[in-house]
């Protein structure tokens, strides 16, 4: 019985969700749910009622009712919009901050108190960004900072919950990002006249098919790679500053993010993008690996590689 897993099914507030895990995980989830409902003074007595069903999880049972599937349920169109909107608010700049942001989303938007590497991994495609090379390292960084804590295991994976300190860090960052965006109007901000001319030339010469391809791409990093490729192919420039890419996004697709988000995405795109320092300023350049990646994913014609 020591390693036995249980399946907990909860019905409350016109909602139903399930979680599979050890007795410690089940107990932790129940305790947090009860605390949450008891502290919410806006709920009526009937709304505080909880229907609980606990079964022994059979080894061959489908994981349709497990917490991992619960994250799939969040992958509706509404869920995708929620994730993308939240990331635009937080503006993560490091891999561990993406993990913390997704943990915040699962906990506060979907009441998933227990988080695993698998549930987090499911959210990267929905957020339209690439998976990191080592998500476990980012989780450990969050634990070291006191933003996540280990609570047991779920489906043979280590399970974590976001701490009050982690929630505060995310919400403080949202407030900071809002103030930063409200304090800067960057619609027509360039670092030089030459940069403005380059952006104007790009917007004037982009073909309808190229624009549609950029517009339809879900992965933000792929959009940036394609912009770097077009800038090179059109003979405009090979070395690109973050603010230039940001201005192109603003003018092409009414982008709602910030230059900081663009910079983070460009950094995450390495080794398909490389950093080049020119006159003590960081520029980005599409690498051969980046061009090969675009070709393999049918984003450009293979004859151009």
Contact 44, 72 (CB under 8 A): no
Q: Residue for token digits 């900072």?
A: 145
Residues 211 and 69 in one domain: no
Residues 44 and 166 in one domain: yes
Residue 295 has pLDDT above 50, yes or no: yes
The pLDDT tens digits for 90-123 are 888 889 999 999 999 998 877 777 889 999 998 9
**Is position 184 within any domain?**
no
Residue 293 CB burial class (10 angstroms; 0-12, 13-18, ≥19): buried
Residues 137 and 45 in one domain: yes
**Is position 81 within any domain?**
yes
Residues 141 and 288 in one domain: no
**CA gap 83, 74 in Å, rounded:** 9
Q: Which of 68-82, 147-161, 283-297 has the lowest mean pLDDT?
A: 68-82
**CA gap 293, 53 in Å, rounded:** 48
Residues 203 and 299 in one domain: yes
Residues 157 and 272 in one domain: no
Structural domain count, the chain: 2
The pLDDT tens digits for 225-276 are 999 999 999 999 999 999 999 999 888 876 777 788 888 889 888 899 999 9
Residues 91 and 31 in one domain: yes
- β partners of residue 52: 10
Residue 287 has pLDDT above 90, yes or no: yes
The pLDDT tens digits for 18-58 are 666 666 566 656 766 676 566 656 666 766 677 787 877 65
Q: To the nearest whole number, what is the mean pLDDT of the chain?
A: 79
**Is position 175 within any domain?**
no
Residues 44 and 118 in one domain: yes
**Is position 121 within any domain?**
yes
Residues 199 and 163 in one domain: no
**At 137, which helix (H) or strand (E)?**
helix 135-144
Q: Which domain holds residue 137?
A: 6-170
Please tell me the predicted confidence (pLDDT) of residue 33: 65
271-279: Cβ within 8 A, 24+ apart: 272/225, 273/224, 273/225, 273/228, 276/239, 278/239
**Is position 207 within any domain?**
yes
**Is position 35 within any domain?**
yes
Please tell me the predicted confidence (pLDDT) of residue 49: 74
CATH number at residue 208: 1.10.10.10
**Is position 185 within any domain?**
no
* pTM of the complete model: 0.54
Please tell me the predicted confidence (pLDDT) of residue 305: 43
| 150 phi and psi angles, rounded to 5 deg | -75, 130
């Amino acid at each position: 019985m020591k390693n036995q897993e249980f399946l907990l099914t909860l019905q409350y507030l016109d909602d139903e969700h399930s979680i599979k895990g050890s007795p410690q995980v089940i107990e932790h989830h129940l305790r947090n749910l009860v605390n949450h409902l008891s502290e919410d003074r806006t709920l009526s007595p009937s709304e505080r009622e909880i229907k609980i069903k606990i079964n022994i999880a059979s080894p061959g049972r489908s994981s349709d009712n497990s917490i991992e599937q619960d994250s799939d349920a969040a992958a509706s169109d509404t869920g995708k919009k929620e994730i993308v909107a939240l990331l635009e608010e937080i503006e993560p700049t490091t891999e561990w901050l993406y993990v913390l942001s997704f943990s915040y989303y699962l906990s506060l938007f979907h009441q998933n108190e227990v988080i695993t590497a698998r549930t987090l991994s499911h959210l990267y495609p929905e957020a339209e960004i690439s998976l990191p090379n080592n998500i476990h390292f980012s989780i450990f960084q969050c634990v070291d900072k006191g933003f996540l804590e280990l609570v047991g295991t779920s489906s043979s994976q280590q399970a974590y919950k976001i701490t009050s300190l982690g929630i505060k860090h995310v919400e403080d960052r949202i407030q900071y990002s809002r103030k930063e965006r409200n304090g800067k109007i960057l619609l027509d901000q360039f670092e030089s006249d030459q940069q403005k001319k380059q952006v104007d030339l790009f917007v004037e010469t982009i073909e309808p098919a190229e624009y549609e391809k950029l517009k339809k791409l879900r992965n933000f990093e792929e959009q940036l790679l394609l912009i770097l490729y077009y800038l090179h192919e059109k003979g405009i420039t090979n070395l690109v500053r973050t603010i230039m890419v940001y201005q192109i996004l603003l003018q092409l697709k009414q982008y709602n993010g910030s230059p900081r988000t663009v910079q983070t995405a460009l950094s995450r795109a390495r080794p398909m993008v490389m950093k080049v320092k020119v006159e003590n300023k960081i520029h980005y350049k599409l690498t051969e690996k980046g061009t090969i990646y675009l070709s393999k994913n049918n984003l450009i014609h293979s004859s151009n590689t």
